[in-house]
Structure 1
């Protein structure tokens, strides 16, 4: 896998362009589009089933507890697959492994609504999580390996769609399937785009030979430690709020046991000759900074999606389809905004660190404006905030991809893909858990303060009316607090930029790192 080689300090002379397949052209572009479609469909599938879960529960007779497990096991297996998929692609070939992953994902999606009971459905969703999670690393691999240096950033920009366009578009898509199609299509919606993705990948990507000799150095100990460790930790985070966190013995086992296994996993990876994760790469300042900042950016991006959706549903009584225009206002323009930001970062005189700072600053601005939310806000009041995010989101993500891949030797590409995708998937789950905790705590705090202030106010006609008004105002104040918290996170990420990454030039121009 190719990437630019760069020093960590100082200025280096231009390096020779890395080898790129001589077959680059329409076929490679088609293959890249096919992998992109598969990755987006995988993300949509998770969002659709989350929104459609009440319908799925009613149709299949599934209890609430089982439904939370269905969502949790998909996330857990998906993230664990991201960690180990790059090794599998290097061993079985990128094209072959990608086709198998898409095919398995498609087949399992077809079978899910046909499951006779919840146990079978749980098994199918677990396996589908593995298949879906194996796809995002393949997108980054294709972009880094096959695209020429002068357009490589555009390929990475397609990967950025999974962090900006995907989550924002997934919610409206979910609402459409729930509103207009049968509950089975919450699973079957993957069929058409998955078939198209398989056709594009089969025609577009070249076939590498098998490298089964890699099994002679297979990291069995790492697999047996890392996969269950990741799965346990993600399950603990996904189920923690429902089971009251460390008050539950199961959650204590999941989180403590998962952390212990991961510590042992990383100790093993440090000295293994063919590891899944190369910890030595974290010595590269740009990669370490990009991974840390990525976690913070995903936290903010998740919040700016969840806060308006939750507010409009609980305060104004909006149905998911009525909330869709707010999400689409950010999602659809990403198809234009992302290439524009890539073109900006591709200019040699533009320092992507300051593009990153500007994007984070715009996100902070949108969150500060959102903190002015009141109980009379409706869908139209959020449009101004969403308009800022149209350009802010790609400006906060594209530079991270440039920083994380521009300081690597070519042979380290698969390890960087494993790091980047696993951190991306795990951070999204951790951010969701933290957001849940913050929301509940702030709601409880504001409810108690409001009750203490209102008491037996003569302005309240009944206890029921008082409870409703207190709950409504507590939700509004909590939304405001969350927006301010996200603004603080964005500002903190700006503050660490001067102390973290070094200058990276666009691929295909001068290579180096300048303070």
Structure 2
């Protein structure tokens, strides 16, 4: 009898699954791997924004019309956002190290060959694949930070991730200016190559090698992939092309939104019931995660508007080139290399409630947007500086606490699911910002133009012809266009003020207090 029991026990032990290996100890080698992933994510963001900023010059060099050129950006964004949703599953299956190196290599190779691609369809395909590779890198940074960083520095890792959302986009303007002005249009693509090589080497050297888990393909979520990827691409393309095609007056935009939203609803339903989903939708029952996803979308919309409105004003009203706008972008980007670690250190103190850090940051961003609403035609580059200083502290003070609220209560197995959801929302927020700003610009500029013309007509203003040309009419049209653009920028800044105020109010409704990981080392008596 005892032999039977012993044999049964040993059989059960043998059949039990082996526990997953614990995370490797944090060393300088892993720190180098983390730095490689950080560089890769920054390079992906640089390439996205640099090509967008220099797109008018690229169109001239490649002989592409304006409408055709917009599809280069739309396809890149669509596949970038879709990759953010599915990359964490691939990283677990093929191993984080292998998948990251493969995506960096794909991204760098496509950047190297892009100037030599002939034919617009081939260039569209190249930008779509490159967008997918670049989007797949962003979730890797959050995954690495959550998995390998020890508790006392995990918040600093989240600060490094925040760097890609706040500092990275602002660095794109000087890179775009230097690439085109000094090295030619090919450098707009090639700027990604040397840093891609460096990041791949660091990842190959520093990241531990996990085993392949190809058995996951037995439960591969094919239905989720076939529903989710086209849904995300359709919605993103609709947002990117909506203003150009006059939104719902265009049958294409209507089909993209209706079809995309329908497929995305089916995708979410599939994720709820699938045994191995890309997203674990049940996690949205947590008010902290729900708040974090809403909050990061709001913050990134405000941050994108801050960049877009200031650079757009300087380019359209003052006639600045990217090289002349670059110092303003640098004044916002470079100080964040200091402010982000400082905010991370502040949030790493157990006595500090990160919700109030977030609240102060939201108020700073609201004050910045409200102050910028007083813009006039007399403003120049450094007129924006006082409000940019508020953004220097406001953006890190919002993003770092949001990341803490989203991740500090996670179980180890929840990391890939949250990384996928968080990064997809981050990608959607950037695209939503483009669509919202474009819509507001068109709507408010038309409204202000009509109001200004009505006022002029009510005052019985008469334009006198000069010679054979109505020079005064041309001058008058330019003045109306300029004033309408300035009033539009003021209106959009007021909208951003309202969004920041909404973020502040949500603090009183949704999130609960979270503590930094270092608090786990506090004794029970002190914790009470």
Alpha-carbon distance between aligned partners in 1 of 2:345 and 2:146, rounded to the nearest angstrom: 17
Shift of 1:152: 0.5
Further displaced range: 145-154 or 449-458: 449-458
Aligned-pair CA distance for 1:20: 6.0
Q: Which of 106, 129, 132 is equivalent to 1:130?
A: 132
Aligned-pair CA distance for 1:22? 4.0
DSSP-derived class of the 2:518 partner = coil
Which residue number corresponds to residue 118 of structure 1?
120
- Give 3-state SS (helix, strand or coil) of 1:509's partner: helix
Give the one of 346, 349, 352 matched to 1:350: 352
1:86 pairs with 2:88: yes
Other-structure match for 2:513: 503
The equivalent position to 1:148 in structure 2, one of 150, 154, 163, is 150
In structure 2, the residue matched to 1:49 is 51
On the 8 A contact 1:139/1:159 being kept in 2, the answer is: yes
| Distance of 2:353 and 2:139 partners within structure 1 | 26
**Please, which of 386, 403, 406 is the counterpart of residue 404 of structure 1?**
406
Q: Write out per-residue CA displacement over residues 435-459 of structure 1, whole angstroms, 9 at most, x where no aligned residue.
A: 1101111111111111111224269
What is the aligned counterpart of 2:474 among 464, 474, 480? Answer: 464
* Residue 59 (structure 1) shift: 2.0
The answer to whether 1:486 aligns with 2:496 is yes
Equivalent residues of 1:169, 1:328 under 8 A apart: yes
SS at match of 1:350: coil
Off by >6 Å, runs of 4+ in structure 1: none
Deviation at residue 55 of structure 1 after TM alignment: 2.2
CA distance in 2 between counterparts of 1:205 and 1:50 reads: 32
- State the partner residue of 1:179: 181
Provide Cα deviations, 1:186-238, integer angstroms capped at 9, x if missing partner: 11110110000001000000000000010111000000000011011111111
- The separation in 1 between residues aligned to 2:448 and 2:302, in whole angstroms, is 22
The 3-state SS of whatever aligns with 2:513 is: coil
CA contact (8 A) 1:309 1:323 kept: yes
Higher CA-based Rg: 2
How do 1:316-331 and structure 2 match up within 5 A? 316-331=318-333
The TM-score with structure 1 as length reference comes to 0.94
Alpha carbons 2:348, 2:518 under 8 Å: kept: no
Relative to the length of structure 2, the TM-score reads: 0.92
Where does residue 167 of structure 1 map in the other structure?
A: 169
Q: By how many angstroms is 1:123 displaced?
A: 1.0
1:20-419 equivalence runs, <5 A? 21-419=23-421
Contact 1:111/1:124 (<8 A) preserved: no
Per-residue CA deviation, residues 150-171 of structure 1 (Å, 9 max, x unaligned), is: 1001111110011100111112
For structure 2, which runs of at least 5 residues remain unmatched after alignment? 1-19, 465-470
Q: Which residue of 2 aligns with 1:9?
A: none
The whole-number CA distance in structure 1 between the counterparts of 2:508 and 2:145 is: 28
In the aligned structure 1, how far is the partner of 2:463 from the partner of 2:302? 38
Partner of 1:80, secondary structure, is helix
Structure 1 gaps of 5+ residues are 1-17
Rounded to whole Å, the distance in 2 between the matches of 1:483 and 1:511 is 44
Q: 1:458 to 1:62 in 2, by over 3 A?
A: closer
The answer (yes or no) to whether the contact 1:316–1:378 under 8 Å persists in 2 is yes
Greater RCO, CA 8 A, separation 6+: 1
Tell me how large the CA RMSD over aligned residues is: 1.6
Number of residues paired by the alignment?
496
Distance 1:249 1:369 in 2: 39
Residue aligned with 1:462, SS = helix
Deviations 1:65-111 (A, max 9, x none): 22111110000000000000000000000000000000000111111
Is the 8 Å Cα contact of residues 20 and 146 (structure 1) preserved in structure 2?
Answer: no
Q: Deviations over 1:225-275 (max 9, x none)?
A: 000110111111111111111111111111110111000001000010000
Distance 2:189 2:307 in 1: 23
1:10 alignment counterpart: none
Matches of 2:24 and 2:207, distance apart in 1: 12
SS state of the match for residue 54, structure 2? helix
